[in-house]
Amino acid sequence: MIRRLQAQRFRNLEDLDWRLDAGVHFLFGRTGQGKTSLLEALYLAATSRSFRTHRLELCARRASVPSEERRDRREPSDLGEGAGESASGFWLAAEIEDADRRSRLELSWGSAGGIERRIDGEIAPATRYLEAQNVVVWTSGDLEILVGAPQHRRRLLDRGVVALRPAALRTLSTYRRALQQRRHLLASGRRDVAEMESWNQLLAAAGSDLIRRRQEYALLLDQQLQEATRWLGLTWPAPRIVYRSSPRDGSDPDRFTAALRRTMDEEWRRRRPLVGPHLDSVEFSWHGAPLAERASAGERKAHGLVLTGAQILVLEQAGREPIVLLDDLDTELDAELLLRFAPLLERTSQTVVTSNRRSVFEPLLAAGAPPSSREREPVEEAGDRRQDGPRRRFSWNLEEGRVQRL
């Protein structure tokens, strides 16, 4: 779990130093105060990736608000003492702990030097950084995963694959590089068979591995969608995930290569790739039909939370308990249905929930309010499931980019 989050020059947040305990943290604030940005900072600090954008320059606050005191920290190389409105970078740090260890993750991005990841002060590759802390996030934008274009669901599978085995990031990178080179060659109209064959070999090796990993994760996720539906006490059938690879038998490198050769002439003619996992079909079904056609707005949000629960269960099964981030949890859900999802908040050692409606969560807040400072119990150890009662709950207010305890 994350014990401390520090942020400098990040989006519309004031520079912050936020300390968190284990338990459920409710973050309230009006629209536009930075609630989603704070969740993004937690996610980015823990994973080195944003759930909102692949362009990290958009996360940098252009105008820097002077801090009352400078913290002892490492900054991006292009953020000097005099950085003001011209600053174009950000810095994040997360202190994490589990039952076995404590670590400090640092992430900086600057327009001059790009992204830099550190673990306990040492430069770290992306694969090692991703091993440190798993995070499951749900935002309103993630409804596209359920009802939007297929690429959103392909990204869901890839995030799951990498969360289980961070080394799979190399497979993804290799596949994307080979695909990009094939696209360029096909678009050029230059029929260089020898060059194409070299990229085909690389594409088939990485693509078949990616398909195999996606198949494995899709199967795990489908099983846990059913388990999450039962665990949350919902009376309707669980959604199902249906995965069809491109090519159909693409988990076998030889069959992948054969499919590339069969479509080669057509690819040259149309000047674009026609085979590969970038074209995989991934769909959610419900009651035997596409979920997008069956589910109302409220049911879609409910299914999204079931999906979040399933992702948590998959990671738990692999021994990698995540922290959970839920943005605007109450949107599209009535109070009665919202309370049905209370077990989702209790599942892991740390959950952060945002909302602009404190009144909706009063029953949950009362159930697990932390003791006063004089009565405060010792902080639970990471991994303690606390089955004997509800997790401690904390209320925070976010206004104009500042976090305050309620």
pLDDT at 357: 86
- Residue 54, C-beta contacts closer than 8 angstroms, at least 6 positions apart: none
- Domains, the chain, in order of start with CATH, read 1-134+323-406 (3.40.50.300), 143-320 (1.20.1050.90)
pLDDT at 114: 87
- Residue 46, C-beta contacts closer than 8 angstroms, at least 6 positions apart: 2, 94, 96, 105, 132, 133, 135, 323
Sign of CA dihedral 176, 182, 185, 186: negative
pLDDT at 84: 40
pLDDT at 386: 40
The alpha carbon of residue 212 and the mean position of all alpha carbons in its chain are separated, in whole angstroms, by 21
Please give the Cα distance from 246 to 303 (Å, whole number): 27
- With vertex at residue 118, the alpha carbon angle to CA 89 and CA 124, rounded to the nearest 5 degrees, is 120
Q: Hey, what are 253's tokens?
A: 């490198």
pTM (predicted TM-score): 0.86
Please give the Cα distance from 170 to 166 (Å, whole number): 8
Q: pLDDT 10s digit of each residue in the chain, 406 long?
A: 999 999 999 999 999 999 999 999 999 999 999 999 999 999 999 999 999 999 999 999 875 444 444 344 444 433 333 334 445 799 999 999 987 889 999 999 997 778 999 999 999 999 999 999 999 999 988 999 999 999 999 999 999 999 999 999 999 999 999 999 999 999 999 999 999 999 999 999 999 999 999 999 999 999 999 999 998 888 899 999 999 999 999 999 999 999 999 999 999 999 999 999 999 999 999 999 999 999 998 889 889 999 999 999 999 999 999 999 999 988 777 777 778 788 888 888 999 999 998 887 887 776 554 443 333 333 333 334 444 456 788 999 999 889 999 8
pLDDT at 63: 57
Rounded to the nearest 10 degrees, what angle do helices 193-231 and 297-317 cross at? 100
pLDDT at 273: 97
> Which residue pairs from 117-122 have beta carbons closer than 8 angstroms and sit at least 24 positions apart in sequence?
117/48, 118/74, 121/74
Please give the Cα distance from 271 to 183 (Å, whole number): 8
pLDDT at 13: 95
